[in-house]
Structure 1
C-alpha cells in the first residue's frame, strides 16, 4: 500500500484521538489505560444494539420516532467505530494495512 498520503482511516483516527484528548482534559479522573478502549467498544456496542432493537421493533421505542431512533442508531454506530479506531491505534494496529492484506487481497483472487 502506498504511503504518500494518509488513508481515510488514518485521518479519522487522528480526529478521534483529538476528541479523546479533549475528553481526557475535561475528565481527568477517568483512567484511560490499556483496557479502557476494549471496554468502551463493548459499552458502545451494547448501546448500538439497544438502538437497533428499537429500530427493528424488538425494543421499547421510548416515545421516539423511527427517524429519531435511526439517527440514534447511526450515532451509536459512530461511537463503536471511533472506539475501534482508538483501540487499534493504542495497540499499534495499522487498520489500513491489515484491511489491505487480510480483506482486499481477496478482490484479485
Structure 2
C-alpha cells in the first residue's frame, strides 16, 4: 500500500519537475521535505491564531493545513523511496504494527 502510494507521488513529482525544469538530485528530496515542514508550520500558525490569516476564513485555513499535511506525506514517501527505505517494514519495527 505505501509503495503504491509512493509510486503515485513519484509520478506526479516527476511530471512537475519536468514541467518546471527542476532537478531532483539527492539533496532535493530532503530540502523539499524541510520546505514543506515550514509550510505546514505556517498553516498551523495561521489556523491556531499565531499567524496572520491573510483574509482567509477558518475553513480555508483548515484546508490549507490539510493541503500542507498532504504535501508532507508525499515528500516523506518520496524521500523514503529515493533512499531505498521500506517504510512499511520500518513502521512494523518502530511502531510495532503492520500498516
TM-score scaled by length of structure 2: 0.93
Shift of 1:27: 2.0
Deviations 1:23-80 (A, max 9, x none): 122123x221000011001101101100100110010010000000000010011111
Who wins on radius of gyration, i.e. which is larger?
1
Stretches of structure 2 that go unaligned for 5 or more consecutive residues are: none
RMSD of the TM alignment (CA)?
1.0
Aligned to 1:18: 11
Moved over 4 A (4+): none
TM-score scaled by length of structure 1: 0.85
Query: In terms of mean alpha carbon deviation, does 15-24 or 60-69 score higher?
Result: 15-24
Q: Do structure 1's residue 66 and structure 2's residue 58 form an aligned pair?
A: yes
More helix by share: 2
Stretches of structure 1 that go unaligned for 5 or more consecutive residues are: 1-6
